[in-house]
Amino acid sequence: MQKHFIAIQNILILFLNFTIIFTLAAQNSNETRVSLSSFVEPREVPLNRTTHWTVQIKWQDALSLVEIENFEEPALSNFDIVGSSASNRRLADATGQTSIKEITYTLTPRTLGMGYIESAAISYKDKATGESHHLMTQRIGVEVIEPVPEPGEVQIPWLPILFAIVLAAVIAVSLVLRKRSITRKAAASIEDHSLLEENILKELKSGVDLSSPNRNDSLAMVTKLFRKYISVKYDIPALEATTSDLIQKLKESGIESHLVEKCEMMLSKADVIRFSGKEATPAELDEAYGTVETVLENNLKEIITAGEKSDNK
């Protein structure tokens, strides 16, 4: 009898253990699996635009099986909440029915740089088991970038435009100053050359006496003044050069051919008179004087004409 009683007792204990196991399994099978997620769209937002932060709670089965007990909004850095919305929906697929609760916040940035949405916490009650649970989201970073043009607004690149204006002004001023400098140099050059011709003419008229009985001295003065002029005007060593060398230099300097011929005749006659020891005739002196005077007056006239044209530009 005792052996039968012990066997029955073991069977009862085993039965109770199976009962407990099946009860716990049934409870676990009735527990609703809930997931919590959050996301931001867009993750890069201009300073004058908004972004949206969405918290989503999802579980399998009917909406009524889960009751949201508490939702703790996260701390925000560099953002302000300007609006919110909530929605419930159900999705059906091959695996069954999915219930979704969503809360969406509209956020506006404060300043350029990074902004952060800290972890949000939610508490819910599983009506199938009567138990309460607690879930948290992850921290999310959002970059705030430069503002974008508003609709109908054209964003003018003021800095490049200002740089272009300043550069153009500098170039314009430089061109004006350069032109003025060139004009002043040209005017100074014209004035210098004008003074040269005028001074040599004055020396010629005051230093040479065509009625003087010493015509050889007067002729020497005429040729000396001419060589002095050529030396300064064309940068030719005219005072020391022979007549043939000087004539060659004059041809190379661009003087009109008929004037070069006259100068050659004048200097050649002056050389003959000087080396022969004979007295120059009044006609020879007048011809030499006239040749030098013509060269000086023609060059002075050309310089004055060029100066007038430069002033008119």
Digit-coded pLDDT (tens) for 201-249: 898 888 888 888 888 888 889 888 888 888 888 787 888 888 888 888 8
Instruction: Name the band, by pLDDT with cuts 50, 70 and 90, for residue 116.
Output: very high
Instruction: Name the band, by pLDDT with cuts 50, 70 and 90, for residue 145.
Output: very high
Same domain, 118 and 51: yes
Residue 21, in any domain of the structure:
no
For 124-152, what is the mean pLDDT? 85
The CA distance from 239 to 230, in Å, is: 9
pLDDT digits (tens, 9 = 90+) for 42-84: 989 999 999 999 988 887 776 677 788 787 777 898 999 988 8
Range of the domain at 72: 32-145
- The distance from CA 137 to its chain's CA centroid, rounded to whole angstroms, is 46
Same domain, 207 and 95: no
Residue 182 scores a pLDDT above 70? no
Same domain, 172 and 288: yes
Residue 272, in any domain of the structure:
yes
Same domain, 292 and 223: yes
pLDDT for position 144: 94
CATH code of the domain covering residue 52:
2.60.40.740
Residue 194 scores a pLDDT above 70? no
Same domain, 72 and 186: no
Same domain, 172 and 277: yes
Same domain, 174 and 132: no
For 94-105, what is the mean pLDDT? 81
Residue 191 scores a pLDDT above 80? no
DSSP state of 210: T
Residue 31 scores a pLDDT above 70? no
- Averaging pLDDT over each range in 4-18, 23-37, 127-141, 253-267, which range is the top one? 127-141
Residue 233, in any domain of the structure:
yes
Q: Return the structure tokens found at 107.
A: 């956020």
Same domain, 200 and 129: no
pLDDT for position 109: 94
Q: Return the structure tokens found at 239.
A: 């005072």
DSSP state of 63: G
The structural domain count of the chain equals 2
Residue 26, in any domain of the structure:
no
Q: Which of 79, 114, 145 is the last residue of a domain?
A: 145
pLDDT for position 26: 46
Residue 11, in any domain of the structure:
no
Closest to 61 in 3D by CA, of 25, 90, 21, 82: 90
Residue 8, in any domain of the structure:
no
Instruction: Name the band, by pLDDT with cuts 50, 70 and 90, for residue 25.
Output: very low
Model pTM? 0.42
Same domain, 141 and 183: no
End-to-end CA distance of the chain: 143
pLDDT for position 51: 93
Residue 6, in any domain of the structure:
no
**Which residue has tokens 């011929």?**
261
Q: Which helix (H) or strand (E) holds 2?
A: helix 2-30
Same domain, 254 and 181: yes
Cα separation values, 85 from 53, 81, 141, Å: 11, 12, 21
Same domain, 171 and 274: yes
Residue 126, in any domain of the structure:
yes
